[in-house]
């Protein structure tokens, strides 16, 4: 009888774990980049996005489905994201891969967006974006290192970006 109760307890425990687990591979929503139009304004500062050089960003919130929040620079995107209320509600962020896109406002190419959480960033380079200093974003660490060598700055992973890095 004791063995039977132990078996039932283990089965109940496993079933509870399975019901409560977050199967993020099945639940993950992957958004495609939304084209940057000439009339798009930055969600944070209101400036026209396509009028400025450098990498841009996009964020999607969990509770707002397919609605995209567009940013004129990676700096503005991170300023938005690092607010605790936004951080827990953002489901996905995209940034431009600057190894594939020239630094300029007239060359924005929406097919060069990458997952912001997997990107490498150069902080403190001589290159500027819409709001002055910005974080140059790259899909590969070696490209970020090459950019930093040419234009200055320090290479950081996503988790190293905080409010201090933005200013």
Task: Give how many domains the chain has, as a whole number.
Answer: 1
Structure tokens that stand for 124 in this block: 């403190």
Residue with tokens 């050089």: 53
Beta strand 113-115 pairing with 90-96: antiparallel
Does residue 153 form part of some domain?
yes
Given a contact cutoff of 8 angstroms between Cβ atoms, the answer to whether 29 and 92 are in contact is yes
Confidence bin at 27 (pLDDT 50/70/90) = very low
Does residue 1 form part of some domain?
no
Does residue 73 form part of some domain?
yes
Given a contact cutoff of 8 angstroms between Cβ atoms, the answer to whether 29 and 91 are in contact is yes
Does residue 94 form part of some domain?
yes
Position with higher pLDDT, 167 vs 28: 167
The stretches of 93-156 forming alpha helices (DSSP H) are: 141-151
Structure tokens that stand for 47 in this block: 């400036």
Mean pLDDT (whole number) for 89-95 = 94
Does residue 104 form part of some domain?
yes
Does residue 167 form part of some domain?
no
Residue with tokens 């200013």: 167
Domain span at 46 = 35-160
Given a contact cutoff of 8 angstroms between Cβ atoms, the answer to whether 137 and 121 are in contact is yes
Beta strand 132-133 pairing with 136-138: unpaired
Mean pLDDT (whole number) for 44-54 = 89
Separation of alpha carbons 97 and 1, rounded Å: 63
Rounded (5°) CA angle 60-62-66: 50
Does residue 28 form part of some domain?
no
- Tell me how far apart the terminal alpha carbons of the chain are, to the nearest angstrom: 66
Beta strand 57-61 pairing with 120-123: unpaired
Does residue 60 form part of some domain?
yes
- Name the DSSP class of 128: E
Confidence bin at 24 (pLDDT 50/70/90) = very low
Position with higher pLDDT, 101 vs 6: 101
Q: What is the per-residue pLDDT across 107-146, written as a single tens digit (0 to 9) for each?
A: 677 788 999 999 999 999 999 988 788 999 999 999 999 9
């Amino acid at each position: 009888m004791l063995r039977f109760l132990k078996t039932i307890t283990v089965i109940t425990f496993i079933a509870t774990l399975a019901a409560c687990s977050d199967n993020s591979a099945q639940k993950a929503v992957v958004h495609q980049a939304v084209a940057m139009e000439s009339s798009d304004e930055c969600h944070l500062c209101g400036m026209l996005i396509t009028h400025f050089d450098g990498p841009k960003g996009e964020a999607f919130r969990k509770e707002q489905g397919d609605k995209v929040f567009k940013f004129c620079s990676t700096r503005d995107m991170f300023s938005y994201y690092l607010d605790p209320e936004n951080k827990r509600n953002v489901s996905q962020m995209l940034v431009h891969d600057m190894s594939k896109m020239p630094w300029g406002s007239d060359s924005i190419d929406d097919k060069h967006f990458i997952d912001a959480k997997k990107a490498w960033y150069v902080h403190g380079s001589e290159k500027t974006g819409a709001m002055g200093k910005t974080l140059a974003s790259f899909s590969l660490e070696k490209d970020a290192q090459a950019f930093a060598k040419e234009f200055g700055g320090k290479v950081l992973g996503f988790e190293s970006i905080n409010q201090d890095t933005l200013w």
